[in-house]
Amino acid sequence: MRSSIVLVALLLPVWFLAPNAPARPDEPASPAPQPRIEFPEITFDFGSVYQNEEVTHVFTFRNAGNAPLKIESVKSTCGCTAALSEAKEIAPGAASSVKVTFRSGSYRDRVTKHVTVDSNDPTQPRVTLTMVGVVKVEVEVKPGGVYLGSSVKVGEKVERAVEITPVDVKSFKITGVTSDNPNVQVSKPQPLGDNRSGYRLTITVGPLDKPGRVNARLTVHTDLLHSREIGIPVYGKIVAGDSPERARPQ
């Protein structure tokens, strides 16, 4: 009896090992070779950058399978570019990489950017790589642009104010402001006052003598390290005196 129990106990592992048994009639004797894409990391946190900067990271991967791995596409979402560094076909055991560049541009706060890598790996045909981080700004421009709508009549002059305040710096200086349109003028920067740090710009459009679109770009020059030039677009439509207005709030 004792020997019977021991025998049963010893046979139990066979049940667990059964999937490996080659004798099963419904499975081939050996599996077909297949590629397997393997990324040690799929998310990279770049920390924090300022606007208009670039962050590059290289995601490495290897073919952990036993058949050639073919990279079918590498696609990025907004604000990123991605490229495969080497050949599109990777031999078993060999490694390659995907270089991802994120341009912070006018993004701000926390950003998450994805890059998808499609391959012939049958178990994982798509891998999504992620770049995360924070885009900082040194100053805040409110509003970021000026749109007058169709509210300005021929012969009329309008003014709008823009405030530039420090965010990630204690203080800064405006060293100059230029306009690329003679019909759009900008005042000398005035300190905000009332214990507020920053400047106010007064933008004047017109008077214009005929209907038409107004497009201008103001450039604010500063002593900031990462925002030496700040662009402020100004748009508007000058209409004839008897035209219906579509006023936009200031």
For the sheet containing 37-38, what is the strand order? 37-38, 54-63, 95-103, 80-84
Binding string, residues 141-180; x marks residues near other proteins by CB under 8 A? -xxxx-x-xx------------------------------
83, 91, 126, 212: residue in contact with other proteins (rule CB under 8 A): 126
Alpha-helical regions (H) of the chain: 2-17
Give the count of residues interacting with other proteins (CB under 8 A): 55
Q: Confirm or reject binding of residue 248 to other proteins (CB under 8 A).
A: yes
Pairing of strands 152-153, 54-63: unpaired
d(Cα 141, Cα 152) in Å, to the nearest integer?
A: 23
At residue 20, the 3 state secondary structure works out as helix
Stretch that binds other proteins, among 10-18, 182-190, 201-209, 220-228 (CB under 8 A): 10-18
Rg of the chain over Cα atoms, rounded to whole angstroms, equals 31
State the residues that interact with other proteins by CB under 8 A. Answer: 1-2, 5-6, 9-10, 12-17, 19-20, 31, 42-43, 77-79, 105-112, 114, 116, 123-128, 130, 132, 142-145, 147, 149-150, 213, 215, 217, 231, 233, 235, 237, 246, 248-249
